[in-house]
A and B are shown apart, each in its own frame.
Chain A
Amino acid sequence: MEKSIEVHNLTVSYHSKPVLWDVDFELPKGKIIGVVGPNGSGKTTMLKTVMGLMKPDSGYTEIYGQPLDKVRERVSYVPQRESVDWDFPADVMDVVLMGRYRKNNLFKRITKEDRRIATEALEKVNLLEFADRQISQLSGGQQQRVFIARSLAQQADIYLMDEPFVGVDAATEDAILKLLRDMKNEGKTVVIVHHDLQTANEYFDWIVLLNTRLVAAGPKEEVFTKELLQEAYGGRLTVLSKLGDLISDTEFPLREPDFKEDQPKG
């Protein structure tokens, strides 16, 4: 197996509480890989540690057998959509062009080539007509696609995406999925943090099952077994965490004062 990302004996803690405990796995190249586990199981922490945004207490991670600093150009990161303020004064093109920023061109002007690559990335996510749109005026799904376009503009080999399917509509979900498969066909490796068990089996080739400890990592046929899933989610915990998801999915204010009239009476 040709390796893309390696994680070895990784322990990471947050407020001196371990979030990841002795996690150890290797990921193949050219696959769509899902990092799956219940809420608070350390999925995002794992991604952030691989990307050098959090320091491990012990263990290390490598990409293509090298530390991150040597291969930064080849790795791209799509953070959670909620992690930025979308009221920032920028349009779609501005954000996608950020994918072209590098340490060594930070003090240079944006080139025509940069613009061409950014335009191409926008085309791939079907947002070209929105290039001049202010980012605060986009829907959740469009914002997510802007982030993916920015990442594409980086022209990397490995893409790490944190919950790209959260808060997007069905059409966007399909579009993203198609894009991921195209990327895979081009030989790219895509690692996706994902919390929805229902769709995980359908989306991914490989699965890393996490719950602070590593439960399993491998081809989805080997990992997606009842025993392993139960180990990750726990018998009764499944019900509880599903309930939690259900509430967070449906709990939004239905009756704003301005829309009172539009609601059906009774």
Chain B
Amino acid sequence: MSPTLAIALTASFTAVSCALLGTFLVLRKMTMVGDAISHAVLPGIAVAYWLSQSRASLWMFLGAAAVGVFATVVIEVLRKKLKVQSDASIGMTFTTLFALGVILITFWSDSVDLDQQCVLYGEIAYVPFNTWSTGALNMGPIALWSSGLLLIAVLLYIFIGYKGLKMSSFNEDYAAVLGIGVVAWNLSLMAMVSLATVVSFESVGAILVVALLVVPAATAYLMVDKLSHLLIGAGIIALLASIGGYGCSRLLDTSIAGTITTLLGVQFLIVLAYHQLIQKQQQHAVA
């Protein structure tokens, strides 16, 4: 497989996965929790990495997902039980966990081949070189496999949990009254977000993954008014940005992740401007 294709596919798989999960974060007004999780998983990654001595291992994914869920629970406990202000509880939890992760990484820097640069910004350009093989057969880049599996997992999760996610996002109290476990839905969504974050951090980094979670959904939200369309729209926007961003970065010789994110922002601005224009016209029509 050509390196170009491997990078483009990895970027697309990650971007679409994040955009789909991010749609529910935006609808639940929980994008900052997504931001928090994307940082809080760092200690999980560091520990799992140190234990297993390999990137992209199953342990790393599980470890990070566990820490992500842990962070969600801590945020909820601080907020609901201890009555800490909502944004303060998010701010405290993820910075502490993230800092802990940074310490762990520097502490184990001799034995762990994982640097802060990679975690924060990702380096998708190296994706094609990090391959795995079974026996003599070269299976191709690890990140391509992990992001592909992630996308399948996300699609399955949303397809199976569509009604539960929809209901608990729209009206949590009502869902609870019907006996639908809203806590379980919240935690499972956060576990998926954690998983997506870990898989993505190698390619786009912990910081830019937030953009992938939030911007495609926010952009699509301006254009459509049905949940299924919102999911499809966010997916398409993420796909366009990742393919287009990769293309642009090759032309301009810039950071791939940076260009993808910038393109997401540009897409949002264009849609926003169009949206405003339409609204203005409608107001004029009424007047």
Contact = CB atoms under 8 A, between A and B. Distances in A.
A90 B226 contact: yes
A245 B20 CA distance: 44
Interface stretch (B140-148, B175-183, B206-214): B175-183
B164 interface: yes
B179 A83 contact: no
Interface in B205-245: 221, 224-227, 229-230
Given A89-B230, A101-B163, A84 B177 contact: no
A91 B169 contact: no
A185 to B, nearest CB: 25
Contacts of B230: 89
A77 B225 contact: no
A101 B171 contact: no
B164 A106 contact: yes
Given A89-B227, A107-B160, A101 B167 contact: yes
A79 B171 contact: yes
Contact of A134 (B174, B180, B225): B225
B174 A79 contact: yes
A95 B167 CA distance: 9
A79 B172 CA distance: 10
B113 interface: no
Contacts of A91: 225-226
A103 B160 contact: no
A12 to B, nearest CB: 16
B106 to A, nearest CB: 42
A116 interface: no
A246 interface: no
A3 interface: no
Contacts of A77: 173-174, 177
B129 interface: no
A102 B160 CA distance: 15
A88 B170 contact: yes
Interface residues of B, number: 29
A98 interface: yes
Contact of A98 (B27, B170, B229): B170
Given A89-B229, A89-B230, A69 B179 contact: yes
A136 B224 CA distance: 12
Contacts of A84: 170-171
A69 to B, nearest CB: 7
A84 B167 CA distance: 11
A51 B160 contact: no
A106 B180 CA distance: 8
B225 A98 contact: no
Given A89-B229, A95-B170, A106-B164, A53 B179 contact: no
A59 B98 CA distance: 43
Given A88-B27, A90-B226, A98 B171 contact: yes
Contacts of A72: 177-179
A88 B167 contact: no
Interface in A44-94: 48, 51-53, 69, 72, 75, 77, 79, 83-85, 88-91, 94
A136 B225 contact: yes
B268 to A, nearest CB: 17
Given A15-B83, A106-B164, A101 B180 contact: yes
Given A53-B173, A79-B173, A89-B230, 18 more contacts: A77-B173, A77-B174, A77-B177, A79-B174, A83-B171, A84-B170, A88-B169, A88-B170, A89-B225, A90-B226, A90-B227, A94-B227, A95-B170, A98-B171, A101-B163, A101-B167, A107-B160, A150-B174
Interface of B: 27, 29, 83, 160-161, 163-164, 166-167, 169-171, 173-181, 221, 224-227, 229-230, 283
26 contacts: A15-B83, A48-B173, A51-B173, A52-B176, A52-B177, A53-B177, A72-B177, A79-B173, A83-B173, A84-B170, A84-B171, A85-B29, A89-B230, A90-B226, A91-B226, A98-B167, A98-B171, A98-B174, A101-B167, A101-B178, A102-B178, A106-B163, A106-B180, A107-B161, A134-B225, A258-B283
Interface of A: 15, 48, 51-53, 69, 72, 75, 77, 79, 83-85, 88-91, 94-95, 98, 101-103, 106-107, 110, 134, 136, 150, 154, 258
Q: Would you list the 4 A-B pairs with minimal beta carbon distance, nearest first?
A: A77-B177, A134-B225, A103-B179, A72-B179
